[in-house]
Structure 1
């Protein structure tokens, strides 16, 4: 049983690292889009209507797909007033407890995201703008990003529970801990 949990954390961590490192490059894509828009408007005197919206979609994909990787790095905001004074075991207990609230929140986001994506696919929803792009691609990316974050939060929960129980997964089962 414990080996299955270790395998789960190993593969989910690897998947989110891969997706997160890919998502980091989306920032360069967004910068290229905005530079092209600026170049086109100022030097070619031919503004493009799609650039700002495409940059927004790229930015949304960046932070949605990078959420799981941010959990691996523990890059999310936390109140460090008390947290830094606690022992690692106490931190793991508190992190495991608060993970249930995060998983509930992500579950609600996933429910809404799936519903919104289904609506977008069924009715061919488009954005209300001059470019009017379809919204289903970014909504699909949203659902994928939320699923990856749920999987990573479960992985983090497994690690926190094992740490709270006094089991060091890293020493016992190899390099699976970030």
Structure 2
């Protein structure tokens, strides 16, 4: 199982990096388009119709795609006052519990948001705006983002199961993957 976990983590590291680059590029595109809007409106006296809609979609998509990236980088919110007081063994058991909860909710959200996006595609739902953006495009960021988060939660669960099985609560799998 440890060999599988190392291969899984290498794959997940590449996937997470790719998703993170896409999310970062969307935020950058959003920033540049807003700067363009300011210039077009203030200097050229010719405001655009597309910037607000596209920027909103970019930030929304980047937010959902960034969930798994944030989790992988241990940037999600947790209560340090409690976590810092736990022994490594207790922390591992708490992580197993929270990983199971996270997997459950991420799975449910992934499935239902996938169904919503597919329904929008099937019904050809479009935004009631000038651009008429097909809604399945921004909606697909939800199952993709939660799917990556789900894979990251499974990684954490597997790492913790191995720690419990080996009674080794000091092992850090992330450092082994980067070797």
Per the normalisation by structure 1, the TM-score is 0.88
Task: Give ranges in structure 1 of 5+ residues lacking alignment.
Answer: none
Counterparts of 1:87 and 1:17 in 2: how far apart (Å)? Answer: 31
Match of 2:81 in 1: 81
Counterparts of 2:29 and 2:12 in 1: how far apart (Å)? Answer: 26
Match of 1:63 in 2: 63
Offset at residue 169 of structure 1 (A): 5.8
Offset at residue 145 of structure 1 (A): 1.6
Match of 2:38 in 1: 38
Counterparts of 2:18 and 2:123 in 1: how far apart (Å)? Answer: 33
Residue-pair matches, total? 176
Counterparts of 2:53 and 2:109 in 1: how far apart (Å)? Answer: 23
DSSP-derived class of the 1:131 partner? coil
CA contact (8 A) 2:20 2:65 kept: yes
Match of 1:175 in 2: 176
DSSP-derived class of the 1:25 partner? helix
Task: Give ranges in structure 2 of 5+ residues lacking alignment.
Answer: none
CA RMSD of aligned residues (A): 2.1
Question: Judging changes above 3 Å, is the alpha-carbon distance between structure 1 residues 170 and 118 closer, same or farther for their aligned structure 2 residues?
Answer: closer
CA contact (8 A) 2:16 2:69 kept: yes
Per the normalisation by structure 2, the TM-score is 0.88
